[in-house]
Amino acid sequence: MARETCRPIFDYYHPESVVATEFRRLLHNITRSIDGIERKSFLITSAMLSEGKSTVAAYLAITAAVYKKRKTILIDCDLRRPTVHKLFNLPVENGITDLIDGSIKVEDAFKSTPMKHLWVVTAGTMKDNPTELFEGDSVKKAIEQIKFYFDLVFVDCAPVIPVSDPVVLAPELDGLLLVVKAGSTQQDVIKRACDIISKSESHVVGVVLNNVQGVLPYHYNHRYYGYQYAAKKR
């Protein structure tokens, strides 16, 4: 069957845009050395579905590849709703599930992208038992193997409340980033997610407020500052 294709996400990345500026700022904040620890690998999750995890993970990986020019990998570990392959117009097969069950070698999981420093590990062949796949040590071994080849690692994961995958994986990464859909996710739901995370071995490096347009106070809107930094003709 023909694979559904649409414009890949990197087509929407414009280095001079407000979005690109925010992602550079975010990347700087999460990677900078705090207490002498330089963080290189990150798990992106949220409390619930559709808060923007995959979008944030993909933009962060693109930003790292473009701006830091370091060898960067984006791994799709949301095995129930994988989307990274769709964002990059790649086949889903030969990805993380295949690496976990030993049917491919680690080097065969790396898919190149048109961006020089960016590679992707897709979710892999769909399995009936995603929870089981995350229970053993194989998933940790797979992440460890991938980390060996890359300078910066971003893992797009399932949400915290419905499944245990993020708290199982978080100890393998240097930091956890929680995406919250502003104006949509209820406070109690976020508190519940924070409670789950705080009981796990994760190091929270930040919270990303997604979808802020028209939801947060006026001073969050870049237009308020009248400082569109598109280069002016002199």
Ligand X SMILES: Nc1ncnc2c1ncn2[C@@H]1O[C@H](COP(=O)(O)OP(=O)(O)O)[C@@H](O)[C@H]1O
User: Is 179 within 8 Å of 51 (Cβ atoms)?
Assistant: yes
Tokens 């930091």 belong to: 175
Question: 203 near 174, Cβ under 8 Å?
Answer: yes
Q: Please choose which of Mg ion, ligand X, none residue 185 contacts, taking the beta carbon within 5 to 8 angstroms, the exact cut-off set by kind.
A: none
Nearer to Mg ion, 81 or 222 (CB): 81
Q: Which residues pair with 43 in a beta bridge?
A: 155, 176
Give the binding range for ligand X (CB under 6 A) out of 24-32, 53-61, 126-134, 195-203. 53-61
- By CB under 6 A, which span of 45-53, 138-146, 189-197, 217-225 interacts with ligand X? 45-53
Between residues 54 and 210, which has the closer beta carbon with respect to Mg ion?
A: 54
132-169 in b/e form (b: 16+ CB < 10 A) is ebbeeeebeebbeebbeebebbbbbbbbbbebebbbbb
Which two three-digit tokens encode residue 192?
């519940």
**Which residue has 């508190």 as its token pair?**
191
Residue 54 as a binder of ligand X (CB under 6 A): the answer is yes
Select from 131, 141, 211, 222 the one that contacts ligand X (CB under 6 A): 211
Q: Tell the smallest beta-carbon distance from residue 14 to ligand X (Å).
A: 15
Tell whether residue 54 is a contact of Mg ion (CB under 5 A).
yes
- Positions 60 through 89 that interact with ligand X (CB under 6 A): 83
Give residues in contact with ligand X (CB under 6 A). 46, 49-55, 83, 210-211
